[in-house]
Amino acid sequence: DNASPVQPITVLGSTGSIGVSTLDVVARHPDRYSIYALTANTRVDLILPQIKAHQPRYAVMRDEQSAEALSLQLKAAGISGTEVLSGEQGLLTVASAEVVTSVMAAIVGSAGLAPTMAAVEAGKKVLLANKESLVMAGHLLMQAVQRSGATLLPIDSEHNAIFQCMPARYQSGESLGLAAEGVRKILLTGSGGPFRQTPLDQLAAMTPDQACAHPNWDMGRKISVDSATMMNKGLELIEACWLFDTGPEDIDIVVHPQSVIHSMVEYDDGSVLAQLGNPDMRTPIAHALAFPERIASGVPSLDIIATAQLDFEAPDYQRFPCLRLATEAVTTGATAMAILNAANEMAVQAFLDQRVRFTDIPVIIEHVLATMSLVEPSTLAVVQEQDLEARQIAAEFIKGSHKVTG
């Protein structure tokens, strides 16, 4: 018979919001996909049931301590088919293993960069949720895609929508650029987050739980805070520039509170193509997993009658200074984007730990960007050095600002 072989998949960050949605889609198609490796930070209790359900060849934990704890639990449960690895080396191993066809890159933050790069360099089909890696090292990642022949498919709902609305040559990685393909501009939509209408003088008092209560999407805490500051849209602007080989001048940010349209592409003839759907990440995940085929994702049909209304607004740069900082960083180029990302990760963590206020986040990022000298991001090591320096400067500033705002 001519049945295609089952594809072994690595899920980096399997215990997170995207990881769980990925396993949900994979479990619907045992004839197509099997799990080669699952990875988590330190939560043994979360990865253990995933291992029982999917029987991967490998499980990777961030440190040796949690790897040992997992090994003991697997032994106690009588599971011997899964080998436990740890640390960055473990992630690199399962991201680039010969037999793996696709890698879901769903670790949050800069920790995702090295394994994502490893998957790209190994020429895998890379399903990219970890937008931070493109923000940090977009030039290097895109160069590596060209060199290795890897397929990079966006999981971020907006970029997945843009990809779906793009001309065929963009989808096959052979495009000559937006203008040559008759694309006039990209419309990047965003909900505006939980604080779109909060009175400005109340923003400083917003708590981590309020920031993480997103109106439309159920996500990890870091990206939820990014959505509340709209840094998420700023990171996505940078992500779109790298993915679609264009500049911020060709991308309009549009606030669309219902999150039913996931983004749009406008053509020279005035046509505007949009991708619509329920706000459920299993749609872009299923799209990228099966591309160029289509498979069921478990997402219910969009009830367009119940939706009834689609609203659009211009973004408010006064309310969301992070949008301005991200736009400036992509215009500046060099390591500005890596510094922006590192400072943002530090500021968001400090906010989640209640060491700084919500409105301190852009202040911290602006301070770090103003303090550092930029360099050309010519190698991954250079990017990682700048990332580290930005984190140190942010940490010092956060310590000091605590006394002032205390």
Query: How many other CB atoms are there within 10 angstroms of residue 301's CB atom?
Result: 7
The answer to whether residue 132 forms part of the interface with Mg ion (CB under 5 A) is no
- Which amino acid, residue 90? G
Segment interacting with ligand NAD, rule: CB under 6 A, options 14-22, 49-57, 192-200, 384-392? 14-22
Segment interacting with ligand NAD, rule: CB under 6 A, options 7-15, 316-324, 360-368, 374-382? 7-15
281 binds, among ligand NAD, Mg ion, none (CB under 5 to 8 A by kind): ligand NAD
Interaction mask 207-236, ligand NAD, x per CB under 6 A: ----------x-xx-xx-------------
Contact 148, 121 (CB under 8 A): yes
Least CB distance from residue 112 to ligand NAD, whole Å? 6
Q: Which residue has the tokens 């998957």?
A: 119
107 binds, among ligand NAD, Mg ion, none (CB under 5 to 8 A by kind): ligand NAD
The answer to whether residue 130 forms part of the interface with ligand NAD (CB under 6 A) is yes
Q: Indicate the residue among 178 and 365 with the shorter CB distance to ligand NAD.
A: 365
Count of residues that interact with ligand NAD, criterion CB under 6 A = 25
Give burial (CB, 10 Å; 0-12/13-18/19+) of 112: buried
The answer to whether residue 156 forms part of the interface with Mg ion (CB under 5 A) is yes
Interaction mask 262-301, ligand NAD, x per CB under 6 A: -------------------x--------------------
Q: Which residues of 185-201 are buried (b: 16+ CB within 10 A; e: fewer)?
A: bbbbbbbbbbbbebeee
Helix axes 131-148, 336-352, angle to 10 degrees: 140
Least CB distance from residue 159 to ligand NAD, whole Å? 9
Query: What single string gives the DSSP state of each residue in 279-348?
Result: S-THHHHHHHHHTTS----SPPPP-HHHH-----B---TTT-HHHHHHHHHHHH-TTHHHHHHHHHHHHH
Interaction mask 148-177, ligand NAD, x per CB under 6 A: --------x---------------------
Q: Indicate the residue among 44 and 74 with the shorter CB distance to ligand NAD.
A: 44
Sorted by sequence, the CB contacts under 8 Å of residue 204 that are 6+ apart come out as 357, 358, 359
The answer to whether residue 11 forms part of the interface with ligand NAD (CB under 6 A) is no
The answer to whether residue 18 forms part of the interface with ligand NAD (CB under 6 A) is yes
Give burial (CB, 10 Å; 0-12/13-18/19+) of 172: exposed
Q: Indicate the residue among 237 and 356 with the shorter CB distance to Mg ion.
A: 237
Cα–chain center distance at 323: 17
Q: Indicate the residue among 93 and 278 with the shorter CB distance to Mg ion.
A: 278
Distance CA 321, CA 204 (A): 13
Q: Is the preceding omega at residue 154 within 30 degrees of 0, hence cis?
A: no
383 binds, among Mg ion, ligand NAD, none (CB under 5 to 8 A by kind): none
For binding to ligand NAD (CB under 6 A), which residues are involved? Answer: 13-19, 40-41, 62, 106-108, 111, 129-132, 156, 217, 219-220, 222-223, 281
List interacting residues with Mg ion (CB under 5 A): 156-158
